Structure 1
Amino acid sequence: MKTGSTSFDEKAMRLMVERHYEDVLAYCRRHAPVSAAEDLTQETFLRFVRRAEAYDERGKPLALLLTIARNACIDAARSAGRAPSFVELDKGLEPSQSDSYAVELESALASLPPDEREALELRFDQGLGVAEAASVMGMSRFAMNRLLKRALAHARSALAPEPKGRLK
């Protein structure tokens, strides 16, 4: 990796893989079929290694890795002849009563358009800043802020309790 005048070194790469492998895998599991997630995660790190000499550490390395993972998932979807989509996890598990809020939240997130859901995932699940999330999704910070605001409004309305006494 380049940090100023320091050139790429294998130890730094190994540390980056150890630190971010699970995050990249989780992203790939949400954006590709589970059966392809591990392969796409490995592809992400291979793409990074191939271009590591040009890497210049600015911002969080995770933002760059998620950008590469996003492109790998899109490429895999294109080669499979379908549009990329979110994949639901653990459909067969019955939620317990204590998990009711988590189930409601998952349902609310599932109802969002894919770009809004991905923006929330990058910002709040992966912990990226607005600028980094915008970079991953290939948009300006201004556009990301608007997308996040819209996504949060949609999520809030999906989680809002139904008013009592009103018929549908």
Structure 2
Amino acid sequence: MIATWDDSDECSLDEDSNEEVAQIALMALEEEEEEESDEVTYDELVLIVEKYSFMIASLKKKVKSLVNENDELKSINLAKEENSNEIEVDLLENEVAYLEKENRNLKEEIEALKKTFSKFSNSSEKLENLLGMQRCVFDKAGLGYEEMNNVKLYQTFFERKK
């Protein structure tokens, strides 16, 4: 048999078709295997999605409870701040009232001391006048002498310190 280009083309076509059939069969087998592995992957994905959905739901509940707890703590903190501010205001008001009372008492004490000092000052002036008006033992007024001509006024015996 003599081989020509045409014959070789037919043979090669037969060989090519046989190879194509083999490749198609292999591809079909691979696709079946991929489908089986895809099904396993899909099932695994479903399990993962369910797992994460459950985790998300539990985390949402936890976030909600934490938000509620945070709100409660904020309200408690605000109430404590208001209470501490009220206590501080009360303490300051008490301190102001105490200082005002002490101020009034000190003013009254100052007034009382001024009155006492003015009495003492007036008394010392009166004492000086009395001592200045007394007569000497040798003064003979009233025994026939004229009183007004012989009255001697003495200077103060005590000197004030300045």
The TM-score range, normalised by the shorter chain, is under 0.3
Between Structure 1 and Structure 2, whose CA radius of gyration is higher? 2
Q: TM-score, normalised by structure 1?
A: 0.17
Structure ranking higher on relative contact order (CA contacts 8 Å, 6+ apart):
1
Q: TM-score, normalised by structure 2?
A: 0.17
